[in-house]
Amino acid sequence: MKKAVLFLEDGTCFHGTSLNTHGESAGEVVFNTALSGYQEVLTDPSYAGQVVVMTYPLIGNYGINDEDMESDKVHVKGFVVKEFCRYHSNFRAKESLIDYLDRNKIIGIEGVDTRALTRHLRLSGAMKGIISTDDFDPKSLKAKLAQVPSMDGADWVKEVAPAKPYVWKADGAKKYKVVVVDCGIKRNILREMAKRGIECHVVPPTTSAADILSMGADGLFLSSGPGDPSAVTYVIATVRELIGKLPIFGICLGNQMIGLALGGKTYKLKFGHHGINHPVKDLETGRISITSQNHGFCVDMNSLNTNDVEAIHINLNDKSVEGLRHKKYPLFSIQYHPEASPGPNDAKYVFGKFIEMMEKGKK
């Protein structure tokens, strides 16, 4: 192991040691409060451009398996923990977390006081940071960080989007055909829709509204993804053109893009929502779900025309909007990840709501 430093843009330093991958890596530093699920965090495209801090002190105890990958590669810019587990144990494990990070050339730093780091980010807000095993000079690191683009205004969707369309088939008989705009989708979303007889025709985010309509689908799904939603103008324009022409369901970044397509605005949260313990209330039923979340931006409900759009879900921690619905057209969206199972099944009912909307559309 080699000495390493995490240097934040406000000048704060956290020292530790690295794994076998050495060098430098920079991005927006955010913290995740989950006790497990580090494999899903690492492979979630929504973390593109970010250095992730795990608040739970011991990470890696159940290793890495083939089944829980959310995409085909690691997307985080760096991984910060208190301690990496050297002795993993799980019947599905194929390798250790340490070997996995090294194999994917991800700089991991341990020995950091992650509680102090998390508290600092909560008080000061998410900020840019750089992990280095070679440079420990604050002036030099600060100059390097100045060259790293801010997450505000950054289009990270183009970095994670698929190059060409593909089909994710339904489990068993196909009941519905849905066009999925992939802005950085997690595989478990596709698995959950497949379980419900939905055949997903996944398309790149640059696909035009005309091409989507020509596919003759029963509905349109807008996926999660990384970066600033206001920067993904091409998807927002497509959604705006399709409102009222297809049943539309969006999650996370999809929710934010729908808010923007409806004429609203988004704003950046101080330190974002990243974890698996966020309570969300369904305002229609009063039902409360424990949800998985990973986003740094949020829809400003005050910017929307409430004659046409209403909030249907709310975050009980900070009262931010967690879901929208159009009062006239078949369109709704949520801010959290209903497929991620922290509850474990609290929020999966929203897939049924999407199917109900498509059934009405058929009639």
Q: Catalytic site residues? A: 252, 337, 339
Instruction: Please check whether residue 80 is in contact with residue 114, taking contact to mean a CB–CB distance below 8 angstroms.
Output: yes
Identify whether 205 is preceded by a cis peptide bond (ω within 30 of 0): no
Residue 201's SS3 state is strand
**What CA–CA distances, in Å, run from 31 to 98, 146, 247, 281?**
19, 21, 35, 23
**Calpha distance 35→111 (Å, rounded):** 17
CA atoms in the 13 A half-sphere facing the CB of 287: 14
Neighbours of 218 (CB within 10 A): 20
**What CA–CA distances, in Å, run from 15 to 29, 35, 81, 107?**
15, 23, 11, 14
**Backbone region of residue 330 per phi and psi (left: phi > 0; alpha: psi in -120 to 50; beta: other values):** beta
Q: Which residues are bridge partners to 2 per DSSP?
A: 18
- Tell me how many degrees the CA angle 245-187-85 measures, rounded to the nearest 5: 150
Which helix (H) or strand (E) is 166 found in, with range?
Answer: strand 166-168
Instruction: Please check whether residue 179 is in contact with residue 201, taking contact to mean a CB–CB distance below 8 angstroms.
Output: yes
Instruction: Please check whether residue 7 is in contact with residue 132, taking contact to mean a CB–CB distance below 8 angstroms.
Output: yes
Q: Which two tokens stand for residue 131?
A: 């992990």
Q: Which residues are bridge partners to 129 per DSSP?
A: 8, 27
For CA atoms 203, 209, 215, 217, the dihedral sign is: positive
